[in-house]
A and B are shown apart, each in its own frame.
Chain A
């Protein structure tokens, strides 16, 4: 669909989401350096279009599972930056009260079933959510984000097989950022387009430009429509690029500066901003207003996190089980 067929409101929403993802990551990285955040961060800088485009095609009561590189997915699904930043800062006000950190943030009210520290770990969980929606005849969709590396895990294949077999309302969204940790995708899989893996599981496999937020949005919208009308799952592969290391501090000796520069030239946020100005004819003042609002949101998020209390040590023992069984210590 041509960009001119989108409403200005929709385009600005997509830009705002992408920018918030980008700026959240950059702020988290700087706050980690400044000492606010104790744990490690796997940033998704460069992969904003997949997160924002896919989540924009979902309804509020749809659910997602995310990954170790999941901040963008959470932001795009409506995650509150202040609760996310507080979780990264290991504060009681964070999404998991400081027990989860970057890898395990959840918000069930927003349909965020969790980031995940295990590559491929969230994929079968999304299938389970799809099972619920099918059993309960609910018109909801589960979308699982994962990277190219996860498509080499058994869990990926088991999950796609089950979803294909049962025609579950699940969208498998592969963010192919060309690297599984420090090893290029070409050295990890004998196929270049991972979407073809869908063919074994009787579902459509679609490869899109993962740096084009509108292409991602449209592909996800089609998959969601299909899922909601009983058509079963879809595998979408968005080709993108991880502009920073696997983790913050990664020396990145495994790839060339030329390659990184080339992909920075295809930056999804920068490119979309340019399209809003030139192709959609949106006044720059409206874009700048969004950019200022995003900065304010993040200023507030950091201030909220920094001012929030750290958990009392003994609360580490709480929250393992839902039931106490008469106060028995487990």
Chain B
């Protein structure tokens, strides 16, 4: 085991998979000489050349389409979309082409495309560079959606995505890039899709924390513990497929649940998770399902306004405490 950053974990995984398989390529805006605007692709172009690490024009539709066409003909492209906010520019290629290619062909098309996407608010980036679009795509059958929250998951889930056969939207939270954690040295270390992680065990309330909300949920759990409230923190790791069993088992144990994500509250990923719990586990609950999420306005520029809109540690603490205090 080594301690590395989330960003290094992604870089290393790309490098290792490109060394292992000549069919793995990386294409995207500024992924080559620039090294990625977040620095994630680093020196890959020097290691693998401009044939396999390609700077593209600012043409999101062509980038995603090229990923799909190259996957159908034998490559395993990693496609980088610099900001999740730009995904709608490639809307048709993502939603109508990439997600549906296998199904429309009667299951015959292999579509090993990993779309690496940055998500979340980095601070005062305003409405077109701060969104968390994961939920937009949960409504489109055909994608797998990964939301790694730790360096180990960034590595293990990315490797699973690159070696898999399906299109994966891989959401990297910008505020997690510098976070550190232990990562396995096993060159085949994979994290399977559809297996949530219990990040902290507890008995009083379940906090389902997605992506960038995991550090905040763990911080909230520390604060709650000082009040004698033991929170169990669940990290779904992938939204599609969703590990319902682990979430339901935790809710069964705690009878209370807070779902935290940075996406907007209305029809964010938490809406699906809440509906799933209501459908399959309502009998376990002692009270309402709580959601902590961005308020339903575009992300504003001003730090004061942005902080008001984004979900915080205090919001999680308050919701969890409220559920516990309303018991009995």
Contacts and interface: CB of A to CB of B under 8 A. Distances in A.
A-B interaction: yes
Interface of A: 63, 65, 94-100, 104, 106, 108, 113-114, 116-118, 121, 123-136, 142, 154-155, 158-159, 161-162, 165-166, 318-323, 325-326, 328-330
B33 interface: no
A326 B241 CA distance: 11
A72 to B, nearest CB: 19
21 contacts: A63-B73, A65-B69, A97-B107, A114-B105, A121-B93, A124-B62, A124-B64, A124-B65, A128-B67, A128-B69, A131-B66, A131-B75, A132-B75, A135-B25, A135-B52, A142-B69, A158-B59, A159-B61, A321-B142, A325-B193, A328-B241
Given A126-B69, A127-B69, A121 B106 contact: no
A133 B96 CA distance: 24
Contacts of B111: 322
Contacts of A142: 69, 73
Contact of A161 (B62, B105, B192): B62
A283 B92 CA distance: 50
B72 A113 contact: yes
A159 B65 contact: yes
Contacts of A118: 92, 96-97
Nearest to A117: B96
A127 B77 CA distance: 13
Contact of A326 (B104, B108, B166, B194): B194
B92 to A, nearest CB: 5
Contacts of A154: 61
B60 to A, nearest CB: 8
Contacts of A126: 69
B70 A131 contact: yes
B59 A328 contact: no
B138 to A, nearest CB: 10
B69 A132 contact: yes
A161 B241 CA distance: 36
Contacts of A63: 73
Contacts, number: 167
A166 B240 CA distance: 35
B228 to A, nearest CB: 36
* Chain B, interface residues (CB within 8 Å), range: 35 or more
A98 B93 CA distance: 23
Given A128-B65, A155-B62, A106 B104 contact: yes
Contacts of A325: 192-194, 241
B59 A161 contact: yes
B260 interface: no
A158 B62 CA distance: 5
B85 interface: no
B73 A129 contact: yes
Given A158-B59, A325-B192, A132 B70 contact: yes
Interface in B43-101: 51-52, 54, 56-57, 59, 61-62, 64-75, 77, 92-93, 96-97, 101
B109 interface: yes
B265 interface: no
Contacts of B52: 135
Contacts of B72: 108, 113, 125, 128-129
A106 B68 CA distance: 14
B102 A322 contact: yes
Given A325-B193, A325-B194, A328-B194, A128 B105 contact: no
